[in-house]
Chain A
Amino acid sequence: MALTPQDITRIAHLARLELTPEESGRMLTQLNDFFAIVEQMRAVDTHGVSPLAHPVAAVQDVALRLHADVVSEPNQREANQQSAPAVERGLFLVPRVIE
């Protein structure tokens, strides 16, 4: 079940990546090469096996911690925005969204 050029266009859109026609063509070949080695994985019988997210959960319970819903960080707006491409009066600037 090989990917098609239309699949590449759709995935690139979902990933918010603009690809040149050359890049799309190369990506199609490379992704299909890759999914060829993935086939062996799909044939494995995993019936009754539960997925593993935190690897150490393979041997012991790992509970996800929850934070108390309180303000814990000081205001660091300027430090946090110093590497932003476009900022004005403490706000991030983006192209006009609503006409």
Chain B
Amino acid sequence: MSHHTTALHDLSVAELAQALRTRQVSAVETAQHFLQRARAQQSLGAFLSLNEDATLAQARAADALLASGKAPALAGVPIAHKDVLVTRDFPTTAASRMLQGYQSPFDATVVARLAQAGCVTLGKLSCDEFAMGGSNESAHVPPVGGAAPQPVRNPWDPARIPGGSSGGSACAVAARLTPAATGTDTGGSIRQPAAFCGITGIKPTYGRASRYGLIAYASSLDQAGVMAHSAEDCALLLSHLCGPDPERDSTSLDVPAEDFSRALDASIEGLRIGVPAEFFGEGLADDVRAAVDAALRQYEQLGARLVPIALPRTQLAVPVYYILSPAEASSNLSRFDGVRYGYRAPAFTDLLDMYKKTRAQGFGDEVKRRIMIGTYVLSEGYYDAYYLQAQKIRRMIADDFQAAFQHCDLIAGPVAPTVAWEIGGKTDPVANYLADIYTLPASLAGLPGMSVPAGQGAGGMPVGLQLIANYFQEGRLLGAAHRLQQVTDFHLQRPAGI
């Protein structure tokens, strides 16, 4: 068995599922292998909680199903969840002091769906506080093995950020601490960390994955998805993650679950890939541009056709997103009042003072900033000028995509203007917001989007290619990514020492 054990973290999800099904390795051995790796690499700060007893109990249950011959497709495959998805077996904190030690009485629907498919949960992964950020520097609870909160480190260069907000997910997959992880994407929080850590990530169409049990940041944008090494693995997991949840999520769409793996081998001969000029303008770093250009040339060689398109309101996506998401956040986070769950300030004079001190001490700087912006733009006299205006431009941005899809089947461009920066290197909030420019338009339109490894830029840091498809075209997206991964090995490259 030892040759299996040493190679377990090198197997794809598909290979791992096969090895488990044919009993070459047990679910318990697999879980123990990854838990051991997670503990050995805890200085990366990826995990906020592990619960070995719970993980091994899930693994034993998977082994029993495998022995009975009635195991579901992913029986025994380990997964780790971003800590904004609530779980019964692990605390859920959203990386906030406000929820430190919070124990959910139920599992998020996407967690439950993956468990039904047989996945074994390894633990919970760090993120920016309440998923607000793009660097994972704002985690406010200590990671496993740590005494104090810390930024998650990028396995490609521990002095750099992993991206965010799903930074723990991207880090853990890149460092082979888990074969796959869930993430959530509100304005790019799956795609950008996937790009920065050299892995593959997909956010489905808004409404395809249930938001039940996803701690709400901006409800009209939040969407769960998966992060793994390849499009093939993402397809496998996303097929189980997506599906209608009409009883639990009011914005869940009645679109049936789909086997995305079946679309992987579709031909891309003649596929029209739209290239928006606005994604290649000033501000795009030369190293990222070169890697993305090379990936586009590769697609041409594979038989796809590049089509120039326009997304004229790309610049506007930044203010529109940073009006709408804080507005929704200020409303969603009003529930954290120190009464029903989570943190309460130790000393106060009366009820109002308790609310104010609890929220002052429980929330970090970025969360407070967004609550302040949101409260202001929703306040009397400003609603029309900010929130309503932003919602109208949101429709114009969505319409721009529909106009573009008249001329192309997919849209491609960079995920982020640069590779991952150094921890502490970007402290100005507005500079951080502007760095989200390429991921925000698809988020506002609710379109499915992916990040696919496309080589390396300055300092050997990974670069991601962003692919965007029209609504419900996740299969096409994954197929195009898979085709690229059949002829490139960017997704198989690994950080030094991993």
Instruction: Tell whether A and B belong to one assembly.
Output: yes
Residues of A within 8 A of B (CB): 3, 7-8, 11-12, 14-19, 23, 27, 30-31, 33-34, 36-38, 40-42, 44, 46, 49-56, 58-59, 62, 64-65, 67, 72, 76, 79-86, 92, 94-97
Nearest to B368 among chain A residues (CB) is A17
- Residues of B near A16 (CB, < 8 A) are 334, 337, 352, 355-356, 359
A16 to B98, CA, bound (A): 14
The residue in A11, A53, A56, A67 that gathers the most chain B C-beta atoms within 10 A of its C-beta is A56
B73 part of interface (Cβ distance < 8 Å): no
Q: Are B103 and A31 in contact (CB under 8 A)?
A: no
B338 part of interface (Cβ distance < 8 Å): yes
B144 part of interface (Cβ distance < 8 Å): no
Q: Are B354 and A94 in contact (CB under 8 A)?
A: yes
- Residues of A near B372 (CB, < 8 A) are 8, 11-12, 15, 17, 27, 31
Q: Are B357 and A84 in contact (CB under 8 A)?
A: no
Instruction: Indicate whether A58 sits within 8 Å of B399 (C-beta atoms), given known contacts A37-B434, A76-B105, A79-B105.
Output: yes
8 Å CB interface, B347-396 against A: 348, 350-357, 359-360, 363, 368-369, 371-373, 375-376, 379, 385-386, 388-396
A44 to B391, CA, bound (A): 12
Nearest to B251 among chain A residues (CB) is A54
- Residues of A near B434 (CB, < 8 A) are 37
Instruction: Indicate whether A37 sits within 8 Å of B389 (C-beta atoms), given known contacts A12-B372, A56-B205.
Output: no
- Residues of B near A86 (CB, < 8 A) are 344
Q: Are A17 and B356 in contact (CB under 8 A)?
A: yes
B342 part of interface (Cβ distance < 8 Å): yes
- Residues of A near B386 (CB, < 8 A) are 38
Question: Smallest Cβ distance from B466 to chain A, in angstroms?
Answer: 17
B280 part of interface (Cβ distance < 8 Å): no
List 22 interface pairs A-B (beta carbons < 8 Å), by A numbering: A11-B372, A11-B375, A16-B356, A18-B356, A18-B359, A33-B429, A34-B322, A36-B430, A40-B315, A42-B389, A44-B316, A49-B395, A55-B447, A56-B207, A56-B253, A65-B250, A67-B247, A81-B340, A84-B340, A84-B341, A85-B343, A97-B351
Q: Are B393 and A83 in contact (CB under 8 A)?
A: no
- Residues of B near A19 (CB, < 8 A) are 360, 368
Q: Are B376 and A31 in contact (CB under 8 A)?
A: yes
B402 part of interface (Cβ distance < 8 Å): yes
A59 to B206, CA, bound (A): 13
Q: Are B373 and A51 in contact (CB under 8 A)?
A: no
Cβ contact of B389, chosen from A17, A41, A65, A96, cutoff 8 A: A41
- Residues of A near B421 (CB, < 8 A) are none
- Residues of B near A52 (CB, < 8 A) are 391-392, 394-395, 398
A55 to B357, CA, bound (A): 36
- Residues of A near B250 (CB, < 8 A) are 64-65
Residues of B within 8 A of A (CB): 101-103, 105, 205-207, 220-221, 246-247, 250-251, 253, 315-316, 318-320, 322-323, 330, 334, 337-344, 348, 350-357, 359-360, 363, 368-369, 371-373, 375-376, 379, 385-386, 388-396, 398-399, 402, 428-430, 433-434, 444-447, 471
Cβ contact of B445, chosen from A27, A41, A58, cutoff 8 A: A58
- Residues of A near B360 (CB, < 8 A) are 17-19
Q: Are B351 and A95 in contact (CB under 8 A)?
A: yes
Q: Are B392 and A49 in contact (CB under 8 A)?
A: yes
Cβ contact of A83, chosen from B103, B315, B373, B388, cutoff 8 A: B103
A54 to B221, CA, bound (A): 8
Instruction: Indicate whether A55 sits within 8 Å of B206 (C-beta atoms), given known contacts A16-B359, A37-B433.
Output: yes
Cβ contact of A95, chosen from B246, B354, B369, B444, cutoff 8 A: B354
Q: Are B430 and A37 in contact (CB under 8 A)?
A: yes
Q: Are B206 and A51 in contact (CB under 8 A)?
A: no
A53 to B219, CA, bound (A): 10
Q: Are B392 and A54 in contact (CB under 8 A)?
A: no
A80 to B102, CA, bound (A): 11
Question: Smallest Cβ distance from A36 to chain B, in angstroms?
Answer: 8
A55 to B220, CA, bound (A): 7
Cβ contact of A44, chosen from B342, B354, B393, B471, cutoff 8 A: B393
Nearest to B313 among chain A residues (CB) is A44
- Residues of B near A58 (CB, < 8 A) are 395, 398-399, 402, 445-446
Q: Are A44 and B205 in contact (CB under 8 A)?
A: no
Question: Smallest Cβ distance from A1 to chain B, in angstroms?
Answer: 10
A94 to B430, CA, bound (A): 38
- Residues of B near A97 (CB, < 8 A) are 351
Q: Are A34 and B385 in contact (CB under 8 A)?
A: no
Q: Are B394 and A15 in contact (CB under 8 A)?
A: no
Question: Smallest Cβ distance from B471 to chain A, in angstroms?
Answer: 6
List 7 other contacts, CB 8 Å, given A18-B353, A55-B220, A59-B402: A41-B323, A41-B389, A53-B220, A55-B447, A58-B399, A58-B446, A83-B102
Instruction: Indicate whether A40 sits within 8 Å of B316 (C-beta atoms), given known contacts A17-B368, A55-B445.
Output: yes
Q: Are B339 and A92 in contact (CB under 8 A)?
A: yes
A50 to B93, CA, bound (A): 37
Q: Are B398 and A15 in contact (CB under 8 A)?
A: no
- Residues of A near B429 (CB, < 8 A) are 30, 33-34
Nearest to A58 among chain B residues (CB) is B398
Cβ contact of A59, chosen from B315, B359, B391, B471, cutoff 8 A: B471
A43 to B391, CA, bound (A): 14
Q: Are B369 and A27 in contact (CB under 8 A)?
A: yes
A40 to B376, CA, bound (A): 18
- Residues of B near A42 (CB, < 8 A) are 385, 389
